[in-house]
């Protein structure tokens, strides 16, 4: 063990003896309180320690204030969105007094718009990174991120881990005897993030960019991590050796990546006759977190249950700790199914509805339609968007796992024909200047894809 690795291990063991979760929640509460004092409800909302199980009336009030704040910010700082509001019905921030006004008046942008123009609410020198996403058309969207927007989604994810994930582990793993200090004393010296992604400095996918918001926490707690596709190289043999080497000292591995990358790694394991036994009964707390759609590299659909069985067989992990993630680049929307009932819980910081693909009318809960959100935590561009994902949404409810939220069921991508009404509305307000500005973001964008 090198001196540097040994020092970091000692540092994590020291930190593990502190009341870590209390300290994190105190930090979140301080940020949330500062947001309230400074009249910035986007920070107040995203840093709320009780975000994932808030009283619904309190949540709805805070979320409304955050959306109104974000709407005012984008209206004043994004020339494209201001013109879009004018075309939409001459809507102004002063017209928004209730959540019904948000649903009826605050315009949502179809994701197709981000492929045609630069849409930004921040100065160019505040663009920290640019996320790209191709959607259904194959043409790229260019989505600027400032550091604050990245950090806010990082806080939402860490909040889930410590305030939803940790209590569930205490209930289900008897080795910790229901004692939080015992769990922390095990977790911090043993945790390791093994990511099947390029580093956030190289790649422009939404999944890679999410790590920008997590890296400050990794550094704070000296948590080791690898980006196995760094340099856009996929070397399955080297990845397996690194995992085996790391898990000698770090039993609690988070294996994170896209479904199709993991599928390619398992194909290599089949060719070499390799199998691992990382955590058969879940006592090591090895988590496998997957995102990016249930498809192989060829585009062939993957059966969820069969894929989970395949992961268990190849890596020797515990099925309940295999987690599916949902999100899209046009917002900080995140949903995950770390739930005994496999409910895909949507983060409560977003206001979400579905829209009829043909009429764009808001639908009732339970109907299949276009996922549409008002996300106040993204201040780098108006993340009030109509996506091209077809989903079902529940109304908010308290789940057995303790989360109070909507649940999302992903059904697939909308066909191009279904998005025609979105595209026609957008084309009417685009100018040549908008299209020229898009080149600015293209120059700042990192490589997309993963180079397999």
The 10 Å Cβ neighbour count of residue 401 is 18
pLDDT band at 451 (very low <50, low <70, confident <90, very high): very low
pLDDT band (50, 70, 90) for residue 415: confident
For residue 16, is pLDDT > 90?
A: no
Answer whether 321's CB lies under 8 Å from 288's CB: yes
Give 47-74 pLDDT, tens digit per residue.
999 999 999 999 999 999 999 999 999 9
- Condensed to tens digits (0 to 9), the pLDDT of residues 349-405 reads 999 999 999 999 999 999 999 999 999 999 999 999 999 999 999 999 999 999 999
The pLDDT of 136-148, averaged and rounded, is: 79
413: pLDDT confidence band, cut at 50, 70 and 90?
Answer: confident
Q: Which residue has the tokens 């770390």?
A: 338
Q: What mean pLDDT is predicted for residues 249-275?
A: 93
Q: Is residue 319 part of a domain?
A: no
Report yes or no on 335 lying in a domain: no
Look at residue 244 and tell me if it is in a domain.
no
| Structural domain contains residue 91 | yes
Rounded to an integer, what distance in angstroms lies between the CA atom of residue 375 and that of residue 414? 21
User: pLDDT band for position 427 (50/70/90)?
Assistant: very low
Specify the DSSP class assigned to residue 163. I
The range of the structural domain enclosing residue 86 comes to: 3-106
Token code pair at residue 434 = 């908008």
pLDDT category at 423 given cuts 50, 70, 90 is very low
47 falls within a domain: yes
Assigned domain for 70 exists:
yes
pLDDT, position 135: 53
Closest C-alpha among 123, 131, 186, 175 to residue 153: 131
**Number of domains within the chain:** 1
* Residue 172 resides in a domain: no
Using alpha carbons, select from 55, 34, 43 the residue that is nearest to residue 405: 55
Q: How confident is the model at residue 6 (pLDDT cuts 50, 70, 90)?
A: low
Q: Is residue 50 part of a domain?
A: yes
């Amino acid at each position: 063990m090198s001196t540097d690795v040994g020092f970091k291990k000692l540092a994590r063991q020291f930190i593990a003896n502190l009341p870590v979760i209390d300290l994190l929640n105190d930090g979140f509460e301080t940020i949330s309180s500062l947001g309230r004092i400074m009249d910035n409800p986007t920070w107040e909302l995203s840093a709320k320690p009780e975000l994932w199980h808030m009283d619904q009336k309190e949540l709805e009030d805070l979320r409304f204030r955050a959306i109104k704040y974000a709407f005012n910010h984008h209206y004043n700082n994004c020339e494209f969105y201001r013109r879009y509001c004018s075309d939409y019905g001459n809507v102004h921030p002063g017209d928004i007094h209730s959540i019904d006004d948000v649903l009826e008046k605050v315009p949502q942008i179809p994701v197709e718009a981000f492929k045609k123009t630069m849409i930004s609410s921040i100065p160019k020198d505040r663009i920290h990174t640019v996320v790209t996403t191709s959607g259904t058309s194959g043409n790229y969207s260019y989505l600027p991120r400032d550091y604050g927007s990245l950090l806010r989604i990082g806080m939402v994810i860490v909040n889930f881990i410590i305030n939803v994930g940790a209590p569930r582990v205490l209930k289900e793993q008897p080795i910790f005897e229901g004692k939080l200090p015992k769990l922390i004393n095990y977790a911090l010296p043993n945790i390791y993030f093994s990511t099947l992604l390029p580093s956030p400095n190289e790649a422009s996918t939404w999944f890679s960019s999410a790590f920008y918001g997590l890296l400050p926490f990794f550094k704070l707690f000296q948590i080791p991590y690898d980006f196995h596709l760094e340099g856009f190289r996929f070397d399955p043999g080297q990845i397996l050796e690194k995992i085996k080497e790391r898990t000698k000292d770090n039993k609690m591995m988070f294996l994170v990546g896209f479904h199709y990358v993991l599928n390619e790694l398992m194909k290599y394991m089949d060719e070499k006759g390799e199998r691992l036994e990382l955590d058969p009964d879940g006592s090591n707390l090895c988590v496998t977190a997957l995102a990016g759609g249930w498809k192989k590299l060829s585009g062939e659909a993957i059966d969820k249950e069969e894929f989970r069985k395949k992961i268990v067989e190849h890596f020797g992990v515990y099925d309940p700790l295999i987690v599916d993630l949902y999100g899209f680049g046009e917002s900080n929307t995140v949903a995950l199914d770390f739930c005994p009932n496999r409910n895909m819980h949507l983060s409560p910081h977003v206001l979400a509805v579905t829209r009829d693909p043909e009429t764009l009318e808001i639908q009732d809960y339970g109907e299949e339609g276009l996922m549409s959100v008002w996300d106040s935590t993204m201040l780098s561009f108006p993340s009030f968007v109509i996506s091209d994902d077809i989903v079902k949404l529940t109304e908010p409810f308290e789940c057995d796992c303790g989360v109070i939220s909507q649940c999302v069921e992903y059904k697939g991508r909308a066909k191009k024909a279904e998005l025609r009404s979105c595209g026609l509305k957008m084309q009417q307000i685009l100018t040549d200047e908008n299209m020229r500005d898009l080149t600015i973001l293209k120059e700042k964008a990192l490589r997309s894809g993963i180079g397999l």
